[in-house]
Amino acid sequence: MTQHATLGVAVVGTGRMGADHVRRITDVISGARVSAVVDIDAGRAKGLADGIDGCTAYTDPGAALAADDVDAVLIASPGPAHEAALLTAFEHDLPVLCEKPLTPDAASTLRVLEAELRLGHRRVQVGFMRRYDAEYLKLKSLLDSGELGRPLMLHNRHRNADVLPYFTERMLINDSVVHEMDAARWLLGQEISAVTVLKPRPSGNAPAGLSDPQFVVMETDGGVLVDVEIYANCRFGYQVQAEAVCENGTARIGEAHGMLVNSAGRWGGSIARDFVERFVEAYDREVQCWVDATLRGEVTGPSCWDGYAAAAVCEAGVRAQAEGLRAEVDLIERPALYR
């Protein structure tokens, strides 16, 4: 593969996230262009490609990744399709930014990790975009500085206005709380060792069959307790908040964004409608960092190990959710490549 001065990116999957990444690479960030789009819906892929100079539409990821003008891959297809696309990218030794989940379960994620180990070098950055959010970066820097002493507890709130009809109880863990699982591991520099899920009475806003909200408690191997209130149908908007409780102080993020208005005897501001609006700058920063690192010949950010660890914690969370018991997390020993 000959890498070009401007990174030619194949975007695999052109649904909501894929199309947004096509827009981001084309209109927002620098150093890259979309040279290929891939989707099983040929019409949708062609519709996107036709609006971009030098972009080709494909229905087969293998054909796209073998193209001479593709230097890197951004995978935004549904999770079950990720493993095949990742393994194909490895065949061409292409750098990859893969939206979460790396794959939908720990077993398949471990297969991807082992395939990357056989390459002998990292090729994958996993799309845990909270690591690129300005507020999370400030909290990470503060905790790493030791200014507040050791962290003891990490409180999180994750609220969605509503979810689509197909949203299941397992998805509360696998699609939503997975972000806090990764963020907690990253913020604390510790692995999660056990998960407990508690359920209050369901909200009247919850669809039939969905126990919502839920309260997730995680234990780390460093002795920190992490809790997450996940409320998928709060109705009023999208909120992500976190508070670190340390020996000598606390730090809280996500309380307010944008302008605060006082008017007509009331005060207040706006609440984001969804994750795309709340984390738009984080997505921009994430993709720009990936492009910059790739052009330098480096791979940075969340790794296959982070994708695997998140999948393993999710599996423990789903067990705890279903059985009402504390579930321990089963992890292999961390390979040297990811230390």
Strand bridging mode 32-38 / 7-12: parallel
pLDDT band at 182 (very low <50, low <70, confident <90, very high): very high
Instruction: Please report the pLDDT score of residue 154 as a whole number.
Output: 98
Query: 3-state DSSP call for residue 157?
Result: strand
Q: Is the dihedral of CA 63, 64, 67, 71 positive or negative?
A: negative
Q: Which residues contact 281 (CB under 8 A, 6 or more apart)?
A: 133, 134
Work out the average pLDDT over 261-269.
Answer: 74
User: Do 217 and 329 fall into the same domain?
Assistant: yes
pLDDT band at 286 (very low <50, low <70, confident <90, very high): very high
User: Do 196 and 105 fall into the same domain?
Assistant: no
Instruction: Please report the pLDDT score of residue 261 as a whole number.
Output: 67
CB-count burial class (<10 Å; 0-12, 13-18, 19+) for 237: middle
pLDDT band at 265 (very low <50, low <70, confident <90, very high): confident
Q: Is the dihedral of CA 21, 26, 32, 38 positive or negative?
A: positive
Domain count, the chain: 2
Q: Which residues contact 272 (CB under 8 A, 6 or more apart)?
A: 237, 238, 239, 257, 278
Tens of pLDDT, residue by residue over 82-138, are: 999 999 999 999 999 999 999 999 999 999 999 999 999 999 999 999 999 999 999
User: Do 208 and 164 fall into the same domain?
Assistant: yes
pLDDT band at 257 (very low <50, low <70, confident <90, very high): low
Rounded Cα–Cα distance for residues 306 and 36 (Å) = 28
Q: Is the pLDDT of residue 1 over 60?
A: no
User: Do 272 and 288 fall into the same domain?
Assistant: no
Work out the average pLDDT over 50-79.
Answer: 97
DSSP code for 176: I
| Domain CATH for 25 | 3.40.50.720
Instruction: Please report the pLDDT score of residue 259 as a whole number.
Output: 63
User: Do 295 and 315 fall into the same domain?
Assistant: no
Kindly give the interhelix angle for 178-188 and 134-145, rounded to the nearest 10 degrees: 40
Rounded Cα–Cα distance for residues 216 and 173 (Å) = 9
Q: Is the pLDDT of residue 262 over 80?
A: no
Q: Is the pLDDT of residue 75 over 70?
A: yes
Q: Does 1 fall in a domain? A: no
Rounded Cα–Cα distance for residues 73 and 63 (Å) = 12
User: Do 206 and 264 fall into the same domain?
Assistant: yes
Q: Does 286 fall in a domain? A: yes
User: Do 193 and 229 fall into the same domain?
Assistant: yes
Q: Is the pLDDT of residue 178 over 70?
A: yes
Work out the average pLDDT over 145-158.
Answer: 97
Q: Is the dihedral of CA 250, 255, 256, 260 positive or negative?
A: negative
Q: Residue 234 is part of which domain span?
A: 133-278+310-338
Q: Is the pLDDT of residue 272 over 90?
A: no
Work out the average pLDDT over 252-263.
Answer: 73
Rounded Cα–Cα distance for residues 284 and 286 (Å) = 5
Instruction: Please report the pLDDT score of residue 273 as a whole number.
Output: 77
Work out the average pLDDT over 35-42.
Answer: 97
Tens of pLDDT, residue by residue over 207-223, are: 988 999 999 999 999 99
List the beta bridge partners of residue 268.
261
Which percentage of the chain shows pLDDT scores above 70? Answer: 97
Strand bridging mode 225-231 / 151-159: parallel
Instruction: Please report the pLDDT score of residue 274 as a whole number.
Output: 80
Q: Does 2 fall in a domain? A: no
Element (H, E) at 108: helix 106-119
Work out the average pLDDT over 146-160.
Answer: 97
How much helix, strand and coil, in percent to the nearest 5, is found in the chain?
A: 40, 25, 40
CA dihedral 138, 140, 144, 150 (to 10 degrees): 110
Q: Is the dihedral of CA 278, 30, 119, 190 positive or negative?
A: negative
